[in-house]
Structure 1
Amino acid sequence: MAISELPADLLDGHRQRLAEHAATGRLFSRESLDAYRAAGTRAAELGVPLRSLVDTALAAGEGLPAVLPALRMAVSALMEGYEQAQLAALRQEENARREFVDDLLQGRAERLAERAEHFGLRLAESYVVAVARGLRDGDQDRIERDLIARFGSHNVLVAVRDSLLVCVAPATLTAAVGEFTHHVRTRFPSGWRVGVGRAQRGPGGVVASYREAAQALELADGLGLTLDVVKAADLLVFPVLLRDRSAIEDLVTSVLNPLLEARGGHEPLLETLEAIFASHGNQTAAARRLGVSARAVTYRLERIRRLTGFSPDDPTQRFTLETAVLGARLLGWPKGFPR
């Protein structure tokens, strides 16, 4: 935008103020500086380039003697107003962006398509949602800036929901989840964990992927998993198990309650079963996991067989035992279960 293209009244009275300063040596009053700040704000709102605004202000001083101090004050006030307007616009955009993501994750559909287009979300595409636990103050802004710097503001959406840092990215942008995890690993304190939902299509798919990601964190906690990154796709069997809670509770109590009578408690026996399942039935490998001798594992498995009537050596009984153990961990057995 050339100087001649600026609104004629944008710097109204500026040349006259400079002339008065040249004649009297008096600097600008507070009211005059406020007028410059307002002009800077208006220029930003009109989309006037800052360089054009400053050039116009400086050009007004040509031919006037000793106006440099006043010009410096005027330009400084103009730039202050201009920057304040830009910051206000940026905050407004950030607030609108975060409000949109929050509405999207809650499934509120009001003007969703119109707002999605503004933020670059193409509702017909598939999206993946990743969530991170362990958020601290300031982490969101830094990670959001880093992700936008790499992938662009129209490719990733970042927000906080239910104390989780949430990242929404197109399923085709496969590097986004890995980059998100990298920044979480770098910035979050120990104990962080990332849950990743499956790729789902459309706004309803974003909600579903978010819920899967959050549930993956809950399942990982319940199962005592040590993974830093848990994927909903790897845990699909567990929501199925929990869908009929009464049935899984009945299975757990029927199969595992006899372990509560064991000397030394049920926990060592339950841990032994988990180690056996994780080691695909290899007792030597399970013993290494537990830090005990192979003979101790054999002894514990025999006690389990005697108490419950189930043995992990039998394929059908192994499946029943493993399902019961998983259900016990997910439901916090034996606390709250009838004896």
Structure 2
Amino acid sequence: MTVTNKHGPPELPGLSEPSGAPGPSRPAAVPGPTSVPGSTAAPGSTAAPGPVDVAAELTLRCLDLLADVSRTGRLLRRAELESLRSLGERGAEAGHGLRDLVTHCLGATRQAWQTLPGLASAVTAAELRRTGDAVLAATEAALGALGEGHERAQRLAMRLEESNRREFIDDLLRGRGDLGVLAERAERFGVRLAAGYTVAVAVGSHPYVDGRTGICRILRDLCGRFDERTVLIVVREGRLVCIAPDGEQEVLKAFIDLTLRPAPGHVPAVRVATGRRHSGTGGVVRSYEEALSTLEYAERLGLPAKRLRAEELLVFPVLMRDRAAMADLVRNVLGPLTAARGGARPLLETITVQAEAGYVNAETARRLGVSVRTLGYRLERIRTLTGYDPSDALHRYTLETAVMGARLLEWPARPL
């Protein structure tokens, strides 16, 4: 039978009183088959019921605990708080928002307030205050544990999602894995493999570390300005990599600006290179490799530019396609400079700076920090030792090409 209190709704079955606990007796659950949310068993079936809805289970659990607290005035135990955290996790996994769970639990508690045993049996106002304070303290602790569990599940889900995202981007950059599976994963993250993509790679004075404040700031800024599904950023081998699809070139531009800009907790990038746009499943890999090659050439050549595009340095892959021929050019054109007093380095620097200064001697001397007379002496030594005159257009091109080859081959520090 169901006992109804004249001051409130019927007391819920299942809130059984612990043995030996003082207070009025409580109604037992109605025997027989019960209808459990989510159960598929037919009426009268003896099969085990299906999983109970998290919100309904949370309501029964909270009311059970509060009924016991109203009788004893005790605090919630550690195991009970952990049970509520577990319910909060399950609620998050089932798609329930924290506000909905809290509202559901508080609403049920408010309706059953007057039927709680300790409150119903209170005789004096002091007893009523003590019992009410104990119940409210238990409610506060219960809802705090519920929120902890819900947030814990949310953080875990976010970490798992981010881990899957990083793994997918890493596989995309490596070009590995089954294409069918890769296409399915790409659809989940909003990536269209058939479209064109451009990859930018930023390198700092120190290796980038995932999770650092500066990287989180860049991600937050980009996600705040663009659709989160179009922002594909990952830390790979100490570099920061951004993949921008067609039509989202503003993402790439914003990424470059943010990485180069000094900010609290973020060391600005030394250089950012972008590959060319490529389409298809291998397009991301090709653009990524071009960006890496551009960074490598810029490092070897000591280029001052902080923003580089692969198409600006296409001449160097052509020059380095035949390393033996390049080494032969360096050996024959620049090899005699090693006989100069002080070695070949000052003369190699002179050729480089003169080309950058447009072959204006006064500007070349200023950039080198030497007098025009000293510069004239160096140019004469270059003509004498190599047989190539920097004032001659053909000789000038040969010297410049040989110097670039020497820097790419790290000569004379590394023997040819």
Q: State the shift of 1:312 in Å.
A: 2.3
Following TM superposition, by how much is the alpha carbon of 1:190 offset from its aligned partner in structure 2, in angstroms? 6.5
Among 160, 165, 173, which residue is 2:240 paired with? Answer: 165
Equivalent-residue separation in structure 1 for 2:246 and 2:400 (angstroms): 33
Alignment match of 1:128 (pick from 165, 182, 198): 198
Q: Percent identity?
A: 49
Q: Which residue of 1 aligns with 2:353?
A: 275
1:142 to 208, 217, 230: 217
Q: Per-residue CA shift, 1:193-214, capped at 9, x if unaligned?
A: 2222222223311111111111
Q: Shift of residue 299 of structure 1?
A: 2.8
Structure 2 matches for 1:231-242, cutoff 5 A?
Answer: 231-242=309-320
C-alpha spacing 1:191/1:83, structure 2 compared with 1 (3 Å): closer
Structure with more of its chain in helix, by fraction: 1
Match of 1:90 among 144, 154, 158: 158
Is structure 2 residue 124 aligned with structure 1 residue 56? no
Q: 1:180 aligns with which of 255, 258, 262?
A: 255
Task: Give 1:100's aligned residue.
Answer: 168
* Offset, 1:325: 0.5
Which of the numbers 277, 281, 285 marks the counterpart of 1:199?
Answer: 277
Question: Does the CA contact (< 8 Å) of 1:156 and 1:170 recur in 2?
Answer: no
- TM-score, normalization by structure 1: 0.92
- Say whether 1:117 aligns with 2:190: no
- Could you tell me which residue of structure 2 aligns to residue 41 of structure 1? 89
Q: TM-score, normalised by structure 2?
A: 0.75
Distance in structure 2 (CA, Å) of the matches to 1:222 and 1:55: 63
CA distance in 1, matches of 2:345, 2:287: 34
Residue 257 (1) aligns with residue 325 (2)? no
Query: 1:222 maps to which residue?
Result: 300
| Residue deviations 1:21-64 (CA, integer Å, cap 9, x gap) | 11221222222212211111111111112221001111222224
Aligned partners of 1:220, 1:104: CA distance in 2, in Å?
25
Distance 1:292 1:100, change over 3 A: same
Structure 1 contact 10–43 (Cα < 8 Å) conserved = no
SS at match of 2:337: helix
> Larger deviation: 159-168 or 240-249?
159-168
Q: 1:165 to 1:190 in 2, by over 3 A?
A: closer
Compute the RMSD of aligned alpha carbons.
Answer: 2.0
Give, in angstroms, the shift of residue 220 of structure 1. Answer: 1.1
Determine helix, strand or coil for the equivalent of 2:59.
coil
Give the letter for the 1:221 counterpart.
E
**Alignment pair present for 1:70 and 2:138:** yes
Greater relative contact order (Cα < 8 A, sep 6+): 1
Show the counterpart of 1:25. 73
**Separation (CA, whole Å) in 1 of partners of 2:406 and 2:246:** 34
Q: Contact (CA 8 Å) 2:59, 2:108: kept in 1 or not?
A: no
Is the CA contact (8 Å cut-off) linking 1:140 and 1:159 kept in structure 2? no
Q: What SS does the aligned partner of 2:151 have?
A: helix
Question: Which of 379, 384, 398 pairs up with 1:301?
Answer: 379
For this pair of structures, how many residues does the alignment match?
334
Superposed displacement of residue 170, structure 1: 2.0
Q: Deviations over 1:238-268 (max 9, x none)?
A: 1111111001000000100011111232122
Residue type of the partner of 2:223?
I
Kindly provide the amino acid, as one letter, of the partner of residue 9 in structure 1. Answer: E
The answer (yes or no) to whether the contact 1:40–1:82 under 8 Å persists in 2 is: yes
1:15 to 38, 63, 71: 63
* Deviation larger for 16-25 or 324-333: 16-25
Q: Is the 8 A contact 2:175 2:282 kept in 1?
A: yes
Letter in 2 for 1:46: A
Counterpart of 1:81? 149
One-letter code aligned to 2:339 = E
Q: Secondary structure at the match of 1:227?
A: coil
Which residue identity does 1:18 align to in structure 2? L
Matches of 1:174 and 1:85, distance apart in 2: 35
- Please tell me whether the aligned partners of residues 126 and 170 of structure 1 are also in contact (alpha carbons under 8 angstroms): yes
